[in-house]
Every structure is written in C-alpha cells, then in structure tokens.
Amino acid sequence: MKFKDIASMSDADRKKTVTESKAELIKLNGQSATGTTPKSPGRIKQLKKTIARVLTLENQKQSASSSSKEVDVAEKK
C-alpha cells in the first residue's frame, strides 16, 4: 500500500488496516517458524512496510499536533 493511499484513509480505516495486517503477519510468521513455506513469502515484507507506513503517519500527525500546542503555549507567555 502506498503512502498516498494511507494518507487519504480515515483514522478508523488506518487502525483497521494495522489490526488486519498485524493479524496476517502473525499468521505468516507462524507458518515460517514451523518450517512450512508461506504461499507468498514476499507478503511478510509487504505487511511490515504497510504497518510501518501507517504508524509513521500516525506519529507524524501526533507530533505535528503536539508541536502546534507548544507554539501556542510559547506565544501566550
């Protein structure tokens, strides 16, 4: 999933995507740990990247909102 696609999603959709991706990743990691080959080994890497992209976007939004609050507090002093 591309970053632009993730950025255009709503917060609820992003949380749902992370939850579903983590569940699928656990399943695929379990398969590889037991020695069976997953149907698509490249999917593990893809899921990890998708989760990282979503969490990065969440952290960027969170830090942007907290930095704007810090500026407001500094201006009031």
**Residue 74: is its pLDDT beyond 80?**
no
pLDDT score for 76: 64
Are the CB atoms for 31 and 38 separated by under 8 Å? yes
- Write out the DSSP string of 57-76: HHHHHHHHHHHHHHHHHHHH
Give the mean pLDDT of 19-35: 94
Q: Which residues constitute the domain of residue 48?
A: 3-76
Any idea what the CATH number is for the domain that residue 14 is in?
1.10.287.310
Number of domains in the chain: 1
More confident residue, 19 or 76: 19
Determine the angle formed by the axes of helices 42-76 and 11-33, rounding to 10 degrees: 140
Q: What rounded mean pLDDT belongs to the chain? A: 88
**Residue 67: is its pLDDT beyond 70?**
yes
29-39 pLDDT, tens per residue?
A: 999 999 988 88
